[in-house]
Structure 1
Amino acid sequence: MPIDSNSSRPQRQLGLAAAIAVVTGESIALGIFLTPAAMARSLGSPLLLLLVWLVIALMAMCGALCYSELAIRFPESGGEYVYLRAGYGEPVAFLYGWMSSIVMYPGVAAALAVGSVPYLAQVLPIGSAWLSAMPVVLLCLFGGINLLGTRLSGSIMSFVNILKLVILFALVGWAAVSGHAHLSNLMPFTVRRPGSEAIFPAIAGGVVSAFFSFGGWWEASKIAGEVRNPRRTLPLAFIGGVAVVTAVYLLISAAFLSVLPIERLTSNTAFVAQFGQVLFGSLGARILSICVLICVCGGMAALTMAAPRVCYAMAQSGAFFPAFAKLHPRWGTPANAILLQTGLSLAVLLLGAFDRVLSYIIFSAVLFLALAASTLFRVQTPVRGWWYPIAPILFIVISVMIALLILMHDPWPALAGVAIVLCGLPLRRLFATPHAATPHISEVTEGS
């Protein structure tokens, strides 16, 4: 990608399709085939499942409105790091950058890569040694694609995610027209099935699971500095992308339960084979495994594009080693930041630590999401949207509730994660450029 000779910033060459692909990419990944079944089995009622999805969809749409406004005001790469820095200063922003760029995103990427292995085994007739190497291959593949140019990686990401959406809607359509889906399987709609969990733990667990499933829609904010016409494109991407994600989860959940009633749901992984066998017979497990792999690839494509932009933004502001603020002279990508993210993902993968990383960090990540949205209450020019201040208040309240549920369910990993995040305070002096002039981030427009 060519670079403006007067600037170290990348050019804006990502369109609406790429921005929407980032929003939908991580939100519709491995969990699309696992989470609805697990939630339905725990909640025991189609009505409760619908209500939980709608609550999280409301939260996500409120967040999309907030992040649209922030992306318009601060159209720079880096997302939450940029917003937190503008609203609360460099120390708070650095803690987020340290947590996400150095700790969390490598763990998420490694988890997605490992999660693909059981489905690869269904599709590829290769031995266990090759299968165990496939997560490394996937991480290196997507890292390399993002290294070779924003336009290239954006096009591939858009294609994979469009293909993913086509396949998911086609699955819903086939379930409906093939005669395998029956409304009677959803009945009684409001009554909880025998064997479901106690009501409060089931709802609490369902809300947290649904939040994780929707998670990732905010990643489009990290590529704001490379999106064409961000004032128009980013609100459409956030709001349209969240609407698509909501539709997919509602339709897929309805298809699952109309084909396989709650009483027949067993384990998460077995459900994929069950659903595939009903729809496609003996080839069902393989066909559904291909669908899962396409969803995983879409998620990895979005993640590996968005995540390095945090490290790049930190280095641009002088809060991280300056080498990571450089763009490749030929491809115009933050090459060092991409290599760092890929290397850290491989390290987490080889250490087998991705499960622990995610369980430790997710509590802090939810709080940072809420804190970033609260930046709207601290901006210089007041927000004048019809949705303000209801949307940020709802988003912050629901985020805090989810964080409390996580804390109540498993407090020690959450508190350990807070300790990991606070380790960034002494590390900040090590990473920061000693005499870097930290530029002031100002609002570009008065918002929408």
Structure 2
Amino acid sequence: MPNAANNRSSVDGEFSRGLSLFDSTMLVVGVMIGSGIFIVSAEMSRNIGSAGWLLVAWAIAGGLTIAGALCYGELSAMMPQAGGMYVYLREAYSPLLGFLYGWTLFTVIQTGTIAAVAVAFARFTGVLLPRISEGQYLVKPVLISSHYAVSLSTAQLLAIAIILLLTFTNTRGLRYGKAIQNTFTLAKTAALLALIAAGVFIGRNGAAWHANFGDFWHASGFSPLTASLDAGTAMGMFVALCLSQTGSLFSADSWHNIAFAAGEVRNPERNVTRAMVIGTILVITLYLLANLAYLLTLPLEAIQHAPSDRVGTATLQAIFPGLGTALMAGAIMISTFGCINALILAGARAYYAMARQRLFFRFAGNLNSARVPASALWIQGLWAILLVLPRTYNPETGVFGNLYSSLLEYVISAALIFYVLTVAAVFRLRSKRPDMPRPYRTWGYPIVPAAYILTAATILLVLFAFRPATTWPGLLIVILGIPVYWLVRTKAETAVPAESPEHVSSRH
């Protein structure tokens, strides 16, 4: 049963428990499904080169995601307050480790994802409205160094407008944010189901079946991993499967964001866990079916070389010639809009929790009259907007890229480290805090968390060995947070004492 804290009035400045199990599940599904499922299978299939192993790669990601949800469930039931992973890492290890996660979340992970998904929304809007383009400049790129520039295109402007609109809407109250979330999550789920149905029942053809299922496990058309290693060997396939997880795992990422907003979930000791498990199982099932639809409609070679890696678009174009591109653009616009809203809604709650501990801007630890962390929402939104503006520049080709894309690539490995540490916290807290109430205990303990840690750690080792250019910089971003932590902590010690974790936990 919900406890008395669930029904407190706004006089004491606490969150409103406005998220039901349905709302919470919609947030999990909505934040997971963005644009990745329609794109990443192209690069994954180029690494793996086999229809069978492509599905295995997605199944591995699915198993890890669901296992992670089962493990996080125990932590969320123990600590059902706003903050999610920041709180879990702080309580299991130290305030420093909690801060480093929050630092990385704010500087790149959450805000960079908001920026990336907002620009994806703008790009696919450009399919229907050609004037919305990253090449249509309002302010042409201005070089600020040999490899970086800033610009403002019509696509960037639309991305900024979407971030501002959804940030403002979420400051008006939880009911507005969850209304948008529920509407767009249901719409994007229906759109993905329609794509699956079209591929399975309308688009399937003999050529795709023969090419993909006639030799289900044979690897062909793959890109070499190194000069002497490719997916044609057992070791090469193992490495390719690990490297492919950067696409599949992070297309299914952010499922834990509901824990950031645990302070607003009714009966959080039960419903946060339920929402994560139900949501992840639903999304992973949809992702596997979507890839099956791709394989029934397109030969693997067509998936590997889909224009701009847009596998979903290529699939619908094969089924509905002349209409597929527009149909997929509309579907991705719906999907990304809902994803941005979920990221904005959830992320600000983590910064709110940090601010309550004097580890973030102090004013971000306040709630407005609508009982939402408006200051944290605006800080997050403004930083995400700033990440939309910078561009990377290749002086050899003259091509401009997006800075946030590079940053996100850098922190994939760092984020996975935090996930491993959080799952390991289940073991640590059972030893460190054995008497702490656990309304839910990890299903399959200790096998499930141990399997997660072993599998994720293996993927990490492969990433560091074979993708050093995009993994080691991620660690640097995390490490840069250490001097920031000591600076912030020193300043906080001279100010008003922080709210104790125990007090925060008891209130929520």
- When normalised by structure 1's length, the TM-score is 0.92
1:92 match: secondary structure: helix
Contact 1:43/1:192 (8 A) holds in 2: no
Tell me, in whole angstroms, the C-alpha distance in 1 between the residues paired with 2:12 and 2:407: 36
Q: Please show how residues 386-401 of structure 1 align to structure 2 within 5 Å.
A: 386-401=443-458
Are the structure 2 counterparts of residues 171 and 5 from structure 1 closer, same or farther at C-alpha, using a change threshold of 3 Å?
Answer: closer
**Aligned counterpart, 1:236:** 274
Letter in 1 for 2:418: F
Q: Does 1:418 align with 2:475?
A: yes
Overall identity of the aligned pairs, in %: 29
The equivalent residue for 1:271 is 311
State the shift of 1:125 in Å: 4.8
Shift, 1:262, TM fit = 0.7
Partner Cα separation in structure 2 for residue 174 and residue 39 of structure 1: 22
Counterpart position of 1:34: 39
Deviation at 1:400, TM superposition (A): 1.6
Distance 2:476 2:61 in 1: 28
- Contact 2:10–2:371 (CA<8 Å) still a contact in 1? no
The one-letter code of the counterpart of 1:377 is: F
Name the structure 2 match of 1:162: 186
The reply to whether residue 114 of structure 1 matches residue 114 of structure 2 is no
Q: C-alpha distance in 2, partners of 1:139/1:163?
A: 20
Moved more, 160-169 or 347-356: 347-356
1:440 equivalent in structure 2: 501
Matched, 1:133 2:157: yes
Q: Which residue, out of 73, 77, 80, partners 1:68?
A: 73
Alpha carbons of structure 1 residues 208 and 359: separation in structure 2 relative to 1, 3 Å: closer
- Structure 1 residue 156, shift from structure 2 partner: 0.8
Q: Distance in 2 between matches of 1:3 and 1:320?
A: 26
**How many angstroms does 1:142 deviate by?**
1.6
Q: Provide the rounded CA distance (Å) in 2 between the counterparts of 1:443 and 1:58.
A: 33
Is the counterpart of residue 190 in structure 1 residue 229 in structure 2?
no
Q: Name the counterpart of 2:383.
A: 344
Cα distance in 2 between the residues matched to 1:158 and 1:339: 22
Q: 1:144 to 1:254 in 2, by over 3 A?
A: same
Question: Is contact 1:13-1:228 (8 Å) kept?
Answer: yes
Aligned-pair RMSD on alpha carbons? 2.3
In proportion to residue count, which structure has more strand? 2
Q: How far 1:216 moved relative to its partner? A: 1.3
Stretch deviating more after TM superposition (101-110 or 196-205)? 196-205
After TM superposition, the structure 1 stretch with the greater mean CA deviation from structure 2, 13-22 or 331-340, is 13-22
CA contact (8 A) 2:352 2:376 kept: yes
Aligned twin of 1:325: 365
Q: CA deviation at 1:42?
A: 3.1
Aligned to 1:360: 410
Q: Distance in 1 between matches of 2:445 and 2:249?
A: 22
**Structure 2 Cα separation of the partners of residues 417 and 177 of structure 1:** 43
**Residue-by-residue CA offset, 1:282-303 (whole Å, 9 max, x unaligned):** 1111111111111211211111
Q: Rg bigger for which structure?
A: 2
* CA shift in 2, pair 1:181/1:26, >3 Å: farther
Pick closer, same or farther for the CA change 1:274–1:356 going to 2, 3 Å.
Answer: closer
Whole-angstrom CA distance in 1 between matches of 2:18 and 2:215:
47
User: Aligned in 2, Cα 1:252/1:181: closer, same or farther, shift over 3 Å?
Assistant: farther
Matches within 5 A, 1:145-184: 145-178=169-202, 180-181=204-205, 183-184=209-210
* Aligned-residue offset at 1:88: 0.9
5+ long unaligned stretches in structure 1: none
Aligned in 2, Cα 1:253/1:59: closer, same or farther, shift over 3 Å? Answer: same
**Of the candidates 227, 236, 251, which is equivalent to residue 213 of structure 1?**
251
Q: Partner letter of residue 381 of structure 1? A: P
| Kept after mapping to 1: 8 A contact 2:28/2:280 | yes
SS at match of 1:437: coil
Query: Mean Cα displacement is larger for which, 6-15 or 188-197?
Result: 188-197
User: Is 1:405 aligned to 2:462, yes or no?
Assistant: yes
Post-superposition CA distance 1:21-50 (Å, at most 9, x none):
222223221111111233234322221112
Contact kept? 2:115, 2:404, Cα under 8 Å: yes
TM-score, scaled relative to structure 2:
0.82
Measure, in 2, the Cα distance between the counterparts of 1:413 and 1:39. 17
Q: 1:399 to 1:303 in 2, by over 3 A?
A: same
Q: Which residue of 2 aligns with 1:428?
A: 485
Identify if the C-alpha distance between structure 1 residues 50 and 152 changes in structure 2 by more than 3 Å, giving closer, same or farther: same
Q: CA deviation at 1:70?
A: 0.8
Confirm or deny: 8 A CA contact 1:72 1:444 kept in the other structure: no
Letter in 1 for 2:296: S
- Conserved? CA contact 1:74–1:443, under 8 Å: no
Figure out how many residues of one structure are paired with residues of the other and give that number.
443
CA distance 1:385–1:187, change in 2 (3 Å): closer
Whether the aligned pair in 2 keeps the contact of 1:184 and 1:258 (CA below 8 Å) is: no
Q: Which amino acid aligns with 2:420?
A: A
Counterpart selection for 2:422 from 363, 372, 389: 372
| Deviation digits for residues 106-142 of structure 1 (CA, Å, limit 9, x no counterpart) | 1111111122333111122535353342111111122
Q: Identify the range of structure 1 (117-126 vs 242-251) with the bigger mean alpha-carbon deviation.
A: 117-126
Q: Deviations over 1:75-120 (max 9, x none)?
A: 0111100101111121111111111123322111111112233311
| Residues 38, 420 of structure 1: alpha-carbon distance in 2 compared, 3 angstrom cutoff | closer
> C-alpha distance in 2, partners of 1:241/1:140?
27
Q: Give the corresponding residue for 1:99.
A: 104
Which blocks of at least 5 consecutive residues in structure 2 are unaligned? Answer: 1-6, 138-153, 224-229, 392-402
1:227 corresponds in structure 2 to 265
Q: Deviations over 1:399-444 (max 9, x none)?
A: 2222222212322442232222222222224434334234134897
Task: Provide closer, same or farther for how the CA distance between residues 181 and 80 of structure 1 changes in structure 2, counting only shifts above 3 A.
Answer: farther
> Which amino acid in 1 is paired with 2:191?
I
Q: What's the secondary structure of 1:9's corresponding residue?
A: coil
- Tell me the secondary structure at the aligned position of residue 320 of structure 1: coil
Q: Distance in 1 between matches of 2:312 and 2:449?
A: 37
Q: What is the distance in 2 between the residues matched to 1:101 and 1:142? A: 18
Which stretch has the larger CA shift, 217-226 or 115-124? 115-124
Relative distance call for 1:79 and 1:378 in structure 2 (3 A) is same
Which shows bigger deviation, 353-362 or 85-94? 353-362
Q: Is the 8 A contact 2:19 2:266 kept in 1?
A: yes
